[in-house]
Structure 1
């Protein structure tokens, strides 16, 4: 009997949660090939499929302490792979739309240097207002808007409750909105 079949998927998952590297290795060996084929079938790009599955296994190890299964390990891995593939596809679409609109904007606007100067000034004003926020609020707001972290990720990173993070982001927006109006929604663009 092969080493891969000594444990069920669920037993391997339990061992993985305890930091058992051998269990992680067995999960990798058991699922890498089928997950790669699953991603490849959708993406039709070998390198992207490999990257997706590699990312999945990196995430699996990184978040092993906090992962919870609502079903089987294989169902979780398939769903995670599918979601990562769909996120990649959506990201590509957004990137293409952004680049197309940027090209269109550049082609139509002969005053681009003036626009860039105004954009730089606006970026500086926004950064200055964010720096004026209370220290912890500013840190949370930056992690939310420039690092694109979820409230849960910020709470974990800063050892705060999710409610605290959510409240601080709302308060920051409440302070910044009167100063910048509709532009506050575009902060990510200007300060990234």
Structure 2
């Protein structure tokens, strides 16, 4: 570690003070693969993971004049990547893509584990019961959100304010997740976890 830190500082000094592309290339070669693998585990798409890491290094170069040469470089790079992944997940387009991905995962899991089919149907019945117990506006807001309507479109269709729609979806989402976690016989099964993740993603806005 005593050798690594001075090496990092040397790279950072060269990048900051001399616009040294060789030093920047060294940082890129050392950290690109592990940052890419970290991003891939989160976003589960090779091209998206590669794009995120490329954006990170472009930003690092563009902001080189403001670099702290005494900083912990790996921690800084992972911190940058963390916020890029958060922005990625906050993208409405990505939410739709990931929802399809989780739904596919759920389908494949049941196909590969036919003994879980009854548990899958039990989860469906559990969610149906919880939906039926909700106030009508809350149930309708959630079902329309499942159809990928925007908050504005749902508000127009139900004759409610956008804030009321958001409140109904937020409360309804928590009720559904609570039902999965509390009323399911095995709340930590792979099936229940996949279902909870799908719900969380679907009802985010």
TM range (shorter): 0.3 to 0.5
- TM score, norm. by length of structure 2: 0.43
- TM score, norm. by length of structure 1: 0.46
Of the two structures, which has the highest relative contact order with CA contacts closer than 8 Å and spacing of 6 or more? Answer: 2
